[in-house]
Amino acid sequence: MKLGIVGLPNVGKSTLFNSLTKAGAESANYPFCTIDPNVGVVAVPDKRLKLLADLYNSEKVTPAVIEFVDIAGLVKGASKGEGLGNQFLANIREVDAIVHVVRCFEDPNVIHVDGSVDPVRDIETINLELIFSDLEILERRIAKTTRGARNDKTLAKELELLNKLKAHLEDGNLAISYETEDEDELAWIPTYNLLTAKPVIFAANVAEDDLADDGAKNPYVQEVREYAKKSGSEVFVICAKIEEEISELDDDEKSMFLEDLGLSESGLEKLIRASYSLLGLLSYLTAGEKETRAWTITKGTKAPQAAGKIHSDFERGFIRAEVINYQELLDSKTYAAAKEKGLVRLEGKDYVVQDGDVILFRFNV
Ligand code: GDP
């Protein structure tokens, strides 16, 4: 899973990205890998892993991960090729969801590209570039589809959709707000890979003082919240500068620091978990002496496909899954005791895997 961090210049994207990747680098259990200076792999915080690993005395703990991409360079005119515009837009096309950073902090030392702090104007500037880029894609599709549509009913219907989408975007709307229950339309839309069809989380970057009350007294944050409500997006209040400081601390120092700020977890942890659920993802777990590990699946995944995340042989040769909820396993103290109590279920190929399931797969090779 990949998340793209977007926003105007100087809103705090790099600061946020650096703290994410540093936090990732410092979570000793996951070998942080730099794929590219702009791509960072971050562990999904999951308290269940440590508890399970203690139970099994596991040598290794491997969390689920998500990838963040720092998409800098999105400026007014990007869709017309300003800056390195089009290249950045292509990067966004590859992500599953967008974290849109907006500046909600005042600081005379940090220049705003448009001269003043105004998060809703900023959001609309970025959205407009995304809309322009999507319109180009739609226009190309329309040209291609028009040729075939005269003799093909399906293509004619798709052409109609393309034109409806185009009108929707031309009115300043995002593709994600296009409402339809038509099954063909629902199947076609994802194939266009539109930027404005991707789910968005807003990260409202505030000053340190606004953290404790979650930005309640910051009027900019309220504006972003109102804007997000209309588009059905979530808003996260974050202070990128503080996150950068936190990412340099060890675990104990970090807890103390957060406590002083009146917080129970860092903004990054909240953000990572929110992105996970925004994308409809969940984790099942495997536990043993060698390794305790979290595996990412989408909601609704059945046992054989979940097994396939570990190895394709597991999916092909799937026989059944031994499943127990992680809390029931912890309460029972040992797997054997849980089994005796009848808490370990045998599940077949139609079982829909749940978040927090601890699973042992039985399979043929
Ligand atoms: P980007 O262009 O969006 O990647 O922005 P940067 O992360 O490079 O930040 C631009 C400037 O704003 C830097 O000088 C940061 O130190 C500063 N900055 C970032 N986040 C905050 C914040 O939460 N508060 C304040 N006061 N400054 C910040």
Give residue-wise pLDDT tens across range 40-63: 888 888 889 999 999 999 999 999
Whole-number Å distance between alpha carbons of 170 and 29: 48
10 CA distance to ligand 1 middle (Å) = 6
Q: Write the class of the CATH domain 2-47+61-115+198-278.
A: alpha beta
Query: Is 152 near ligand 1, meaning CB less than 6 Å away?
Result: no
- Residue 111, judged by CB atoms within 10 A of its CB (0-12, 13-18, 19+), counts as exposed
256 CA distance to ligand 1 middle (Å) = 24
Q: Write the class of the CATH domain 300-363.
A: alpha beta
The chain-wide mean pLDDT, for the chain, equals: 88
Q: Range(s) for CATH 3.40.50.300 in the chain? A: 2-47+61-115+198-278
Model confidence pLDDT, tens digit, residues 327-346: 999 999 999 999 999 999 99
Q: Write the class of the CATH domain 132-196.
A: mainly alpha
Mean pLDDT, to the nearest integer, of 252-280? 85
Q: Note the pLDDT of residue 100.
A: 94
Query: Is 207 near ligand 1, meaning CB less than 6 Å away?
Result: yes
The pTM score is: 0.83
Query: Is 75 near ligand 1, meaning CB less than 6 Å away?
Result: no
Q: Note the pLDDT of residue 228.
A: 93
Where residue 34 falls among pLDDT bands split at 50, 70, 90?
very low
DSSP notation for 291-341:
EEEEEEEETT-BHHHHHHTT-HHHHHTEEEEEEEEHHHHHHHSSHHHHHHT
16 CA distance to ligand 1 middle (Å) = 8
12 CA distance to ligand 1 middle (Å) = 4
Query: Is 103 near ligand 1, meaning CB less than 6 Å away?
Result: no
Q: Note the pLDDT of residue 81.
A: 64
H or E element in which residue 243 lies? helix 240-246
How far is residue 38 from each of residues 26, 34, 76, 133, 247, measured CA to CA in Å? 18, 8, 21, 22, 18
Q: 25 or 267: which carries more pLDDT confidence?
A: 267
Residue whose Cα lies nearest atom 22 of ligand 1: it is 241
